[in-house]
Amino acid sequence: MKKFKIIWWRIKSVWAIYRFGHPSKKIKVIGVTGTNGKTTTATLLYQIATRLGFKAGLISTVENIIGDKKIGATHTTPDSVSLTRLLSEMVDMGCEYAFMEVSSHALDQNRVWGINFSGGIFSNLTHDHLDYHKTIENYFQAKKKFFKLLSQNAFALSNTDDEQGASMLLGIKARKFSYGFSGGENFHGQVKKIDYSGLQLIFNEQEINSQLLGKFNASNLLAVWSVCKLLDFDMQKVKNILKDIKPPRGRFEHFKSQNDVLIIVDYAHTPDALEKVFSAVNEIRQPDGRIISVFGCGGDRDPIKRPIMGKIGATYSDLAIFTSDNPRSENPAKIIEAMQADLSSELIQKVVAIENRREAIKKAVQEAQTGDIILCAGKGHEDYQEIKGVKHHFDDMEEFRKLFIK
């Protein structure tokens, strides 16, 4: 069945190119792939390009943008027909650049076949989508496919802090570049300071300041800065833009309440992403402040990660509230039960299970005191909750603002 679907997707790809032509030859398309960081990297590049005065487009999990026209997104990477149409509209609007997320599903299904990428970025590879790819090796090969598509005129930029970073650059035609914090990269980063107010960084001996929070965002910013160098942008202007640039919706999006509680909403829905956001929260927590978390796991998706994520949340929280994510066709109580499966008696004491996500958020707000941080993870930018095949309006940040800002 899967082979039949792939053949069908390839036919659609060929038809799309025949029908709409090759719009990517008239615009510089930069693709971002990896488990985490795709949305932030692509969105920040779009923001920088537009603030530098370029017309640009964005294709992302959160939204698609053509110039300043916003279009709702249904997939991280659209189907080949929709994707070619979006790029055609960008060309018609006079866009010089398109920044897009390239998912492993899209690569496996040949949705990006025929696109003339000017550059590609690899962020990282961690446990995700194994319900589809079955093995980490298959997942890796799907990502690798993107870099094999790049021509010798394109650049390939890889995060060599990730254990798969160097492998992504092997056996490809594109010009190879690396970024990271370990040493020996083409684009090397150092973290000078991380706190409540943001990041102080050094990129290739250039001091960079940002209001974004967390070390994982230092890596995203280094990727963005490196691409700007490769695209020959005005780096002094880029440096100034980075000082006040905002994160994409639902990506470590935050605000502080009147009683000094920091609320963070993030899309983290994989073990690695969840661990990284907890690490980022721990880096900025006040000495006496507690971490209160609210998160769940999606239904009908990769059940192996549920106990892993449950253990991460219970370990790094002072109070962990396990709740519903998008349960889809599953019973949310069973999902929460799976999240608790590997918890020790010590960890289980820090966990409260509340199926109703709205009530779980209320509980977090009731418990929070001055100096605490509430991390609400899993749904990020999503403004719905899918239950038994029906999507109900639900926005995590909206719920928090209702409770804190009255």
| Domain parsing of the chain, residue ranges | 7-244, 253-404
Helix axes 215-230, 38-51, angle to 10 degrees: 50
| Cβ-contact 125, 99 below 8 angstroms | no
Tens digits of residue pLDDT in 142-188? 788 899 999 999 999 999 999 989 999 999 999 999 999 999 999 99
Question: For 230-258, what is the HEC assignment?
Answer: HCCCCHHHHHHHHHHCCCCCCCCEEEECC
Helix axes 332-339, 305-316, angle to 10 degrees: 60
pLDDT class of 15 with cuts at 50, 70, 90: low
Q: Does the 7-244 domain belong in CATH 3.30.420.40?
A: no
Note the pLDDT of residue 104: 75
Question: For 246-312, what is the HEC assignment?
Answer: CCCCCCCEEEECCCCCEEEEECCCCHHHHHHHHHHHHHHCCCCCCEEEEECCCCCCCCCHHHHHHHH
Note the pLDDT of residue 133: 45
CA of 200: how far to CAs of 42, 196, 217, in Å? 21, 12, 11
Rounded Cα distance, 236 and 251, in Å: 26
Question: For 127-167, what is the HEC assignment?
Answer: CCCHHHHCCHHHHHHHHHHHHHHCCCCCEEEEECCCCCHHH
Q: Report the mean per-residue pLDDT for the chain.
A: 90
Note the pLDDT of residue 80: 79
Of the candidates 343, 277, 285, the residue with the CA atom closest to the CA atom of residue 315: 343
> Which residues are 206's β-sheet partners?
203
CA of 362: how far to CAs of 57, 122, 284, in Å? 38, 38, 23
The token duo for 169 is 């650059």
Of the candidates 357, 360, 316, 353, the residue with the CA atom closest to the CA atom of residue 338: 353
Tens digits of residue pLDDT in 97-138? 999 999 877 777 877 878 899 999 999 887 554 455 457 777
The token duo for 166 is 């160097």
Tens digits of residue pLDDT in 285-318? 999 999 999 999 999 988 999 999 999 999 999 9
Rounded Cα distance, 259 and 369, in Å: 8
Tens digits of residue pLDDT in 351-401? 999 999 999 999 999 999 999 999 999 999 899 999 998 999 999 999 999
| Non-local CB neighbours of 158 within 8 Å, separated by 6+ positions | 121, 122, 147, 165, 166, 168, 169, 176, 177, 178, 179
Element (H, E) at 214: none
CA of 312: how far to CAs of 278, 307, 325, 327, in Å? 9, 9, 16, 20
| CATH tag for 253-404 (out of 3.20.20.450, 3.40.190.10, 3.90.190.20, 3.40.50.170) | 3.90.190.20
pTM assigned to the model: 0.79
Q: Looking at 294-368, list the stretches that DSSP marks H as alpha helix, in order from N- to C-terminal side.
A: 305-316, 332-339, 345-348, 357-367
Following CA atoms 298, 301, 302, 304 in sequence, which dihedral angle do they give, to the nearest 10 degrees? 50
| Cβ-contact 251, 380 below 8 angstroms | yes
Rounded Cα distance, 401 and 405, in Å: 5
